[in-house]
Amino acid sequence: MRVGVLNSWLADRYLPFWASYLQALEVEVVRPQEISVNLPVPAPIRRVLSQVFSLKSQGIDFLLLPDVQLGVEAHRGNPSPWLVDLGATLERLVPGLPPTLVVPAELSPEVAGLAAKIGQLLTQNPMLARRALERTKHQLNSSFTPPKQSGVHLVGVVAQPMLLSDTDWLNNLRAGLAEYGLHLFLADKAPSELRQEGSALELGLELPTDLEAAGMHRYLSRLGKVKGLLYVHDPEYLPLPNPLRKLLKKSEPPKPWRVAGLEAPWPQVAAELAQGLRP
């Protein structure tokens, strides 16, 4: 049995447990290889598709995918399918997509029940699944570790959290900011805390990732060491929630800020921010 896993799209939040559990089930965990995908989509989306095409070509039996909304459904608006149903979105773009196993994009003890069901599905051996879960369930209690960050002239980023797990995208942004002496800063609070920050804005947001992005805005706006803000918005793939964008027009942040797309010319954006940061 071979199960393919992504290495982005919040993989750092859920994969440590699932990779260990699958291995304890004696299931082979298949990682994506770098392949080129020629599709007219932004680079972060293209990288996700590249991983899926790579895993499919390696002959996996199942594809493990995250539910980034943690089971919450949107009852208002028309959210991007990339936000609310990654599996169905990939089915439309990847012919012959392997069967998917959808798991919450965050870990908690409540995930143990789903893990047991998936373990039995994959092994058809309840005893093996039970033993594997006993050996690995301690990882469901994982705690948040803030990223190590340093530098001066810090620019905080507000975006859908899936984007901020794309290492290549972050490196490109860092390089663009560095050309003008600016340094990237990511919100150093746990996702659950950021969602609480977002709820405090009372914007009527439903989806957890929308609440998290709104929480980034609230937290980074008041964090003194962050001197500027960058809001990353793509209306088709990774949009910031409409109520948050309306709030920005109604009540601007108390520091220099810019809105940019997924593939903005980062040195140019950095130059504009640096201009606003000059005394």
- In the predicted model, is pLDDT for residue 279 greater than 70? no
Let me know how long the chain is.
279
Cα-based distances in Å from 45 to 9, 69, 87, 108, 262: 10, 18, 14, 28, 10
Tokens of 179: 């050309």
Please tell me the pTM assigned to this model: 0.95
The Cα–Cα gap between 10 and 166 comes to 9
**Is it the case that residue 77 has pLDDT exceeding 80?**
no
Count Cβ atoms within 10 A of the Cβ of residue 18 and give its class: 0-12 exposed, 13-18 middle, 19 or more buried. buried
Placement of tokens 């810090």 in the chain: 154
Instruction: Return mean pLDDT, the chain.
Output: 95
Give the list of residues 6+ apart from residue 260 with CB closer than 8 angstroms, or none.
Answer: 230, 231, 232, 233, 269
How far apart are alpha carbons 63 and 30 in whole angstroms? 9
Average pLDDT over residues 224-251: 96
Domains and CATH numbers, the chain: 2-141 (3.40.50), 154-277 (3.40.50)
| Range among 30-44, 63-77, 90-104 with highest mean pLDDT value | 90-104
Which residues have a Cβ under 8 Å from the Cβ of 171 and sit 6 or more positions away?
none
Percent of the chain with pLDDT over 70: 100
- Work out the average pLDDT over 94-105: 97
Give every CB contact of residue 274 below 8 A, 6+ residues apart in sequence: 153, 180, 181, 182
Location of structure tokens 């405090």: 200
Mean predicted confidence (pLDDT) in 155-173: 97
Mean pLDDT of 152-176: 96
Closest CA to 158 of 225, 236, 228: 228
pLDDT digits (tens, 9 = 90+) for 170-224: 999 999 999 999 999 999 999 999 999 999 999 999 999 999 999 999 999 999 9
213: its two tokens: 């992005």
Place 254 in a pLDDT band, splitting at 50, 70 and 90: very high
Q: Is the pLDDT of residue 6 over 90?
A: yes
